[in-house]
Amino acid sequence: MASGNKKKLKRGLDFWMFVGPVFLVFAVIVLVPFFNGVMYSFTDWNGITGELNWIGFDNYVRLFTSDEQFQQSFWLTTRYTIVAVVLTNLVGFILAFLLTQNIRTRNFLRTIFFMPNLIGGLILGFIWQFIYVKGFSSIGELTGWSLFELPWLGDARTGFWGIVIVSIWQGGGYIMVIYIAALQNVPQELVEAAKIDGANRLSTLRNITIPLIMPSVTICLFLTISWSFKLFDTNLSLTNGGPFKSTEMLALNIYKESFTNNNLGLGSAKAVIFFVIVAAITVTQVYLTKKREVEA
């Protein structure tokens, strides 16, 4: 009996020796700021002075009644997320499908397509800002093509698509790598059996390949949804929400409310609402896609 208790105690100590330091760091960096943010969302703190007053749900009421910019940023972020998630996964899957074929330069091309993911969002935004403003203008003058003469960062509609293009260019390669790993693990005997039964490529892809790579689809959708909703650095460096806040995503709106307008209480309320929405969407997405997963 005593020996069994000693073993349990030893296992518990071993567990906390490994998990304890990580949990402590996680609590200090994530949990404590999170609960502080929830608390501040019920105050009028400006983030600078030590004086803060408890105002209850006033910040939350303001968000849904009089804060039009928050509502505009929310719908813009939702529209951007839908477009970016679909196109990023589509581009990533097409690249993965092509680069799992018998192509000589496939390893080189995989590296090239993955490389944009290694560039930080701020630097990426400044690079593409130069491309949109200077590069496209020069190409438009040389070719006369109206596509390159559009005000890519000076108009709400083209600014939106400018951000989408940069996001796909950066994230498509990362998603491609996940899909490549999934496609390489599809049992080839099933594909060969489908060909023998007379199935064409499209039918094989739809009925065999895609159902077998659904775990990767779950991961890729989860990643792209969270990336899209939390887009900040690229938005900041590429358009800074302009022109006239027409491309101001939700994360940038929260940042400006908290640290530019010095209204940390209202900014924290926005962040709490943001967290609840993203958590609800991602949990729902994971639940729905997990149900469609099959085993080979």
Kindly list the structural domains of the chain, giving each domain's residue range(s) and its CATH number in brackets, ordered by start: 66-291 (1.10.3720.10)
Whether pLDDT at 67 is above 60: yes
Predicted confidence (pLDDT) per residue in 132-158, tens digit: 988 998 998 888 888 888 888 888 889
Asked if residue 266 lies in contact with residue 62, where contact means CB atoms within 8 angstroms, the answer is yes
What phi, psi does 192 have (nearest 5°)? -65, -40
What's the CA gap between 248 and 254, in Å, rounded? 10
Confidence of residue 285 (pLDDT cuts 50, 70, 90): very high
Per the DSSP assignment, residues forming a β-bridge with 43 are: 54
Residue-wise pLDDT tens digits, 214-230 = 999 999 999 999 999 99
- Local structure of residue 259 (DSSP, 8 states): I
Return the structure tokens found at 42: 């019920």
**Chain centre distance of CA 204:** 30
pLDDT digits (tens, 9 = 90+) for 157-182: 899 999 999 999 999 999 999 999 99
The per-residue pLDDT for range 229-264, each reduced to its tens digit, is: 999 999 999 999 988 899 999 999 999 999 999 999
Q: Comparing C-alpha atoms, which of 280, 283, 288, 266 is closest to residue 55?
A: 266
Token pair listed for 32: 């404590």
Closest to 171 in 3D by CA, of 241, 242, 117, 102: 117
> Is the pLDDT assigned to residue 266 strictly greater than 90?
yes
